[in-house]
Structure 1
């Protein structure tokens, strides 16, 4: 019985490791979304600064890859329409690009978190 418990524990640990996001510090060099993208892209700086006002809550700026393209998400759990804050390099939201939010979140991979804080 102890062996079965040990085996079950090991399987659980391995399965938890398999479900983690594949985050990497190796940022793309062929896109506008680099480590200092918030400072370099005026449209992104404007969007992020709108969320950095006092009492606006938690904020993350996340770099994603989706179908061989890069996207950046400005994430605040208090926002009712998160699809409006996921952009391509030109600043177009996934809604304008006719990419469904559920489809995007199911297939996108996290590359890096560029900003994380509470405001």
Structure 2
């Protein structure tokens, strides 16, 4: 069922309905899917009431989950691991080579800062909020 393109599309439309992002054309498309499926009609009714109940809260929670997923991505884990290793090596090297050590530690901190800013700025759900 996960490989069925229609089932994936219906799931995507239901998710957009729950988040309150469903456009008019997509609502009509979902209605076409629901014409022959009474179970889907019940799911649509439940999701509509869930969307009315949750309002914008669900979108903010999903945005927080996107940040958490981005934090666990292989690229971010590699960047942060590399930055941590560079900081540790810089601290150890500062005892042996006082000129090389602090530079290596500073570079490791820069890698960590870049990784954190890149992930959190791109995924931040609140960056576009205007007061």
Please give the TM-score of this superposition, normalised by the length of structure 2: 0.27
Task: Point out the structure with max Rg over C-alpha.
Answer: 2
Compare the two structures and name the one with the higher strand fraction: 1
Higher helix share: 2
